[in-house]
Amino acid sequence: DIRMTQSPSSLSASVGDRVTITCRASQGISNSVAWYQQRPGRAPKLLLSAASRLESGVPSRFSGSGSGADYTLTISSLQPEDFATYYCQQFYTFPPTFGGGTEVEIK
């Protein structure tokens, strides 16, 4: 299975900050990465697929980039509703696997 390693595991930030979360795969995954947001007590929500494709209804302050084995999720200006845990997921090979999550907390 492909291992997905996220960093940092948690971070503290203020409203308006730019936040970047990194995901490194154990091998190249050819942009086959998705990002999810999970608020406490809720199911994960798909934000981006194919590394940089924003899902319908997701604010444009979210963006994704990367290539090979390294990918990033960026929130350009953190909003109060963005405090949550974020997960990356690869769908390059079977089985799909998830990163361990990055918790974004209020500073």
Partner 1 sequence: QVQLQESGPGLVKPSQPLSLTCTVSGASISSGGHYWTWIRQFPGKGLEWLGYVYYNGNTRYKPSPQSPISMSVDTSNNQFSLQLHDVTAADTAVYYCARGMVWSQTFDYWGQGIRVTVSS
Binding site for partner 1 (CB under 8 A): 1, 32, 34, 36, 42-46, 49-50, 55, 85, 87, 89, 91, 94-98, 100-101
Q: Classify the C-alpha dihedral 85-74-82-90 as positive or negative.
A: negative
What token pair was written down for 57? 């209804």
- Taking the complex as a whole, the smallest distance from the CB of residue 78 to partner 1 amounts, in Å, to 21
Q: Which is nearer to partner 1, 36 or 72 (by Cβ)?
A: 36
Q: Which is nearer to partner 1, 1 or 105 (by Cβ)?
A: 1
Look at residues 64, 29, 62, 27 and name the one whose alpha carbon lies nearest to residue 49: 64
What token pair was written down for 53? 């494709």
Q: Which is nearer to partner 1, 18 or 59 (by Cβ)?
A: 59
CA distances, 105 to each of 27, 39, 46, 50, 93 (Å): 30, 11, 20, 26, 32
- Taking the complex as a whole, the smallest distance from the CB of residue 43 to partner 1 amounts, in Å, to 4
Cα–Cα distance, 84 to 30 (Å, whole number): 27
- Taking the complex as a whole, the smallest distance from the CB of residue 91 to partner 1 amounts, in Å, to 4
- Taking the complex as a whole, the smallest distance from the CB of residue 41 to partner 1 amounts, in Å, to 9
